[in-house]
Amino acid sequence: MHIVAPALILSVRPHGEHGAIVRALTPADGMQPGYVRGGRSRVLRPVLQPANAVLGEWRARTGEQLASLTVELIESRAALHGDPLAAAALSWVTALTATALPEAQPYPRLYEALDGVIGALAAAPSARGWLPGLIRYELLVLAELGFGLALDRCVVTGERGVFDLVSPRSGGAVSRAAAGTYAGRMLRLPPFLLGGSQSPDWPDLFDGMRLTGHFLDRDILADRREDVGAARQRLTARLKRAVA
């Protein structure tokens, strides 16, 4: 096995005295793990940071063997790790991706979307500039893994339209008339997730996070929730402090 590809670093785990096992997302070869010799060295630690863009080269004699990996830095996101809010967002999206995706299966749309979220974090002056993209990325993760939400048709009546409620069971949109007395049990669907306002207010953003968080916890993370749930909780707490 021999792969040379641009990649986004997702996770880094120490291995042995000096090495590291790295998971990185490539455009055409999906998430690829690899062993980086000297990955804990002073030279390579700044390169092997989650969200950094690198050129990776994986080599292995067989497909079952953990590949050796060498990396060349393309773009550092070190400055983002110095900002508590941006760092929490990076920690969450990279941990989600590393946990949710199976290895070696291509997800080019997720690669492009994740790169876009990281770029927005670097460019946007405030969280309101990048948080909508992060929430849309969470929706895309659900869709790409087979758990997409049906938001253009009422799951009860079959009617097409624009709705603002989602069933927490089916993941389908529900009209208020069809929800009736159960409306209070539904999840709110904010307009920006339907192509509406591109500058959503904070209540809409937090509603979006509740929506995606519910289905990520149930359908994607399940028993792995403790491993990555803390990252999303830190992000939510820091966002609430920023708003306050």
For residue 109, the model assigns a pLDDT of 98
CA distance 224 to 220: 8
Question: CB-based contacts of 138: which residues, under 8 Å, 6+ apart?
Answer: 96, 212, 213, 216
Query: Which residues of the chain, if any, have pLDDT below 50?
Result: none
For residue 67, the model assigns a pLDDT of 96
Query: 35 with 68: CB under 8 angstroms?
Result: yes
Q: How far is CA 182 from the centre of its chain?
A: 31
Instruction: Compute φ and ψ for 4, nearest 5 degrees.
Output: -125, 120
Q: What is the pLDDT of residues 140-163, one digit of tens each?
A: 999 999 999 999 899 999 999 889
For residue 226, the model assigns a pLDDT of 62
For residue 229, the model assigns a pLDDT of 85
Nearest 10 degrees: Cα torsion 114, 115, 119, 120? -30
